[in-house]
Amino acid sequence: MTKRGDFSRRVIESLCQIPRGETISYEELAGRAGNPKAARAVGNILSKNKKLVLIPCHRVIKKNGALGGYVGGPAKKRQLLEQEGVRLRDVPACRQAGRSFGAAHQIF
């Protein structure tokens, strides 16, 4: 297996160990998979997840508490987390790299 394939496998294996009702940041998941500086690569790997029922990528959030991306869309990610008992709240819109983003959602 390639180095990239090894990392992808470790990301998915680590992700599958996150219990129902708990969340983890992209950065922390990257660290558990062996490369804490690869948070963006983790997001890219999760964006290719076709087994949403088996691989719980909705449990991965941004380190600032914002939901982050999800193949099924933010409303579905929020719904899945709430069904698992994760409490969410709206946080103010943020600005990043000169672009304005809509309201994010934060775990509390």
Catalytic center residues: 57
**15 three-class SS:** helix
Ordered alpha helix ranges (H), the chain: 3-15, 26-32, 39-47, 74-83
Alpha carbons within 13 A on the beta-carbon side of 54: 5
Q: CA quadruple 56, 50, 80, 86: dihedral positive or negative?
A: positive
